[in-house]
Amino acid sequence: MSATTNRYDIVVWGATGFAGQLVAEHLTGRYPAAELSVALGGRNESKLQRLRKELTDETDRAEIPIVVADATALASLREMAAQTAVVCTTVGPYTTYGTELVEACIDAGTDYCDLTGEINWVREMIDRYHDEAVEADVKIVHSCGFDSIPADLGVKLLQSYATEEFGAACEFVRIYLEDGEGGVSGGTLASAAELFEAAATDPIARETLTNPYSLAPPGERYGVDTGEQRRPRRDSIRSIWTAPSPMAAVNERVIRRSNALLSYPWGREFRCTEGIPTGFGISGATAAGGIALGLGVGTAAMKSSLLRRGLRRFVFPEPGSGPSQEEIESGHFSVRAIGRGTATDGPFTVMSEIGAELDPGYGATARMLGEAGMCLLRDETASPLDGGILTPASGIGDPLGDRLRDVGFTVTAGEW
């Protein structure tokens, strides 16, 4: 739907939550009111009014509109979605609060982007709403934060470079969480708990977690990849030790969906894996073993309903909470992808890197979601797809890299 037919360009849904407030601060602070109309959306009007006052004091905006709606009432969400061209939502767990909003946006013809890493819920949205979103020309773009833009867009940029320079795509890509420092939000941990909760009772959720191709289109949920790394491994490209990545279960499936939605430009035999590099020799192997052990213990705890309830009650921070501004600004991350392919004159190796001097789960994620929303609003995409349940690479693509560079990210692609 054209932005000219709506009262607002973007509604930040969940604006009073920790992540939502950061998205709202980014959009209202970077873009003048004459260039972008931003509304703050949520269920608590008094909290929205307080946030509006804070933001108007910090920006040149004379007034920032608010939209009050109920995340559990479809009619209320439809009314909200009908007022805007794009919804950027941070309200999770999405399994609990996301479905009605997706349906409302499709009904209203409103594009949508979120921060979800709940692959069981993404699978449900694919099966229930993909065809409807295609028919409505509505882009529902999931996982537009640290899950999974650095990995998904990084692979897309790497493959674009390989195709342009060598005339062939990479057959194998390895993703490395090179470096990072930052906090984990209460909302993120709540979403992880919801995923394990669903897997304990829902066979489709369990299948989603066990099948590496579970986010591919129906009928295409199979392939050569056998699943994410679970133990320390000597890396085949860099000859260093790597540990399992806690994000691999999400990122790898998102990347495979991107390849499928784009009609397999990287080939049906394309393979991708993700890991954490830990270095060379005994010290590298020891570090990889420690990470693998910790991840295994954490996963086992989350699979136990008793321990999961205890963690949620006594250990996890409350959803909506987060680190201080100083902690956000002192964080950083770097995600590197290295791919190998074969051109007519022989093999080649290429690399991409996406990083920022910001906390990955908050400051960087807020900018990623905000700029994904801007790409949807301005129709700055390299995607052949007009609608559907999409990924960042398939729904937006390379132009998102340009916007991230403009807001301080390192985004590169070249030979390795």
* Helix runs in 202-238, H state only: 203-210
Q: Are 240 and 280 in contact (CB under 8 A)?
A: yes
Write the pLDDT tens digit of every residue in 325-347.
777 778 899 999 999 999 999 99
Q: How far apart are CA 44 and CA 50, in angstroms?
A: 10
Q: Kindly provide the b/e burial profile for residues 70-102, where b requires at least 16 CB atoms within 10 angstroms of the residue's own CB.
A: ebeeeebbbebbbbbbbbbbbbbbbbeebbbbb
- With a cut of 90, say whether residue 297 has pLDDT above it: no
Q: Please tell me which residue, 293 or 312, carries the higher pLDDT value.
A: 293
Residue 353 tokens read as: 């890197």
Write the pLDDT tens digit of every residue in 5-44.
689 999 999 999 999 999 999 999 999 999 999 999 999 9
Q: How far apart are CA 20 and CA 90, in angstroms?
A: 6
DSSP state of 62: S
Q: How far apart are CA 18 and CA 361, in angstroms?
A: 11
Dihedral of alpha carbons 279, 284, 287, 288, sign: positive
Write the pLDDT tens digit of every residue in 161-213.
999 999 999 999 999 999 888 766 555 666 666 677 776 778 888 899 999 99
| Cis status, amide bond into 148, omega within 30 of 0 | yes
What structural domains and CATH numbers belong to the chain?
A: 3-146+361-415 (3.40.50.720), 149-358 (no CATH)
346: closest CA among 168, 193, 197, 187? Answer: 168
pLDDT mean over 154-165: 98
Q: How far apart are CA 75 and CA 86, in angstroms?
A: 18
Output Rg (C-alpha) for the chain, integer angstroms: 20
For residue 244, give the amino acid letter. Answer: P
Q: How far apart are CA 49 and CA 40, in angstroms?
A: 9
Tokens 């301005």 belong to which residue?
Answer: 378
Maximum distance among all Cα pairs of the chain, rounded to whole angstroms = 65
The model carries a pTM of: 0.94
pLDDT band at 90 (very low <50, low <70, confident <90, very high): very high
